[in-house]
Structure 1
Amino acid sequence: MPGTRNPRNPSGHNDAPDDGISEPDATDIAPNQDSDSDSADDGPTNPSPAGPDDSLSGTVDYDSETSDDSAQIPTSDPVDDASQHVPQQARPGLRAALVASVLIVAALGGLIGYLGYRTYQTQAADRQRELFLQTGRQAAINLTTISYAHVDADVARILDSATGTFHDDFQQRVQPFIDVVKQAQSTSEGNVTAAGVESINGDQAQVIVAVSVKTSNAGAPDQQPRGWRMRLNVQKIGDTAKVSDVQFVP
Structure 2
Amino acid sequence: MARSEALARERTARAALREAVDDLRDAEVRAGAAPPPARWWRWAAVVAVVLSLALAGWGIARWSQESGRTSDAEYERIATDRVTLLLSPDYRQPGRAQRILAGATGEFYDEFAQSADAYTTFVKSRGTVAEGTVDGAALSGRTSGGATVLVAATVRFTGSPDNRSQREREQAFRLRVLLTDSDGGPKLAAVQYLP
Q: TM-score, length-normalised on structure 2?
A: 0.73
RMSD value, Cα = 3.0
Residue 146 of structure 1 and its aligned partner are, at CA, apart by 1.6
Q: How big is the shift at 1:117? A: 3.0
The C-alpha deviation readout for 1:109-156, integer Å capped at 9, x for no partner, is 22233234334434443x354553333222101111121111x21111
User: What is the aligned partner in structure 2 of residue 85 from structure 1?
Assistant: 24
The counterpart of 1:232, out of the listed 174, 177, 183, is 177
1:107 to 32, 45, 51: 51
User: Following the alignment from structure 1 to structure 2, what is the Cα–Cα distance between the partners of residues 83 and 172?
Assistant: 89
Match of 1:214 in 2: 156
Give the counterpart letter for 1:232 in structure 2. Answer: V
Question: Residues of 2 paired with 1:239 and 1:171: CA distance?
Answer: 19
Contact 1:131 1:240 survives alignment (8 Å): no
Shift in alpha-carbon separation, 1:168–1:239, aligned structure 2, 3 A:
closer
Q: CA 1:93 to 1:142, structure 2 compared with 1: closer, same or farther past 3 Å?
A: farther
User: Is 2:137 the partner of 1:137?
Assistant: no
Map 1:168-187 → 2, pairs under 5 A: 168-187=110-129
SS of 1:114's partner is helix
Measure, in 1, the Cα distance between the counterparts of 2:156 and 2:86.
13
Which one is further off, 153-162 or 112-121?
Answer: 112-121
Distance 1:92 1:110, change over 3 A: farther
**Structure 2 CA distance for aligned equivalents of residues 93 and 185 of structure 1:** 93
Deviation at 1:165, TM superposition (A): 2.1
Q: 1:235 deviation in Å?
A: 1.2
- Structure 2 residue runs of 5 or longer lacking an equivalent are 1-17
1:98 partnered with 2:37: no
> Whole-Å Cα distance in 2 between the matches of residues 244 and 87 of structure 1?
76
> How far is the alpha carbon of 1:212 from its aligned partner?
1.9
Task: Give the match for residue 245 of structure 1.
Answer: 190
Which whole-Å deviations, capped at 9, do the CAs of 1:183-208 have from their partners, x for residues lacking one? 22111111222112221222132121
Q: Which runs of 5+ in 1 are unaligned?
A: 1-78
Contact 1:131 1:241 in 2 (8 A): no
Say how many residue pairs are matched: 171
Identical residues among aligned pairs (%):
23
Equivalent position amino acid for 2:193 in 1: F
**Rg (Cα) greater in structure:** 1
Shift of 1:168: 1.8
Amino acid at match of 1:103: V
Give the whole-Å Cα distance in 2 for the aligned partners of 1:124 and 1:160: 22
Q: TM-score, normalised by structure 1?
A: 0.59
- Provide the C-alpha distance between the structure 2 equivalents of 1:245 and 1:178, rounded to a whole number of angstroms: 20
User: Take 1:198 and 1:160, find their aligned partners in 2: how far apart are those partners?
Assistant: 24
Q: Show the counterpart of 2:130.
A: 188
In 1, Cα distance between the equivalents of 2:183 and 2:168?
42
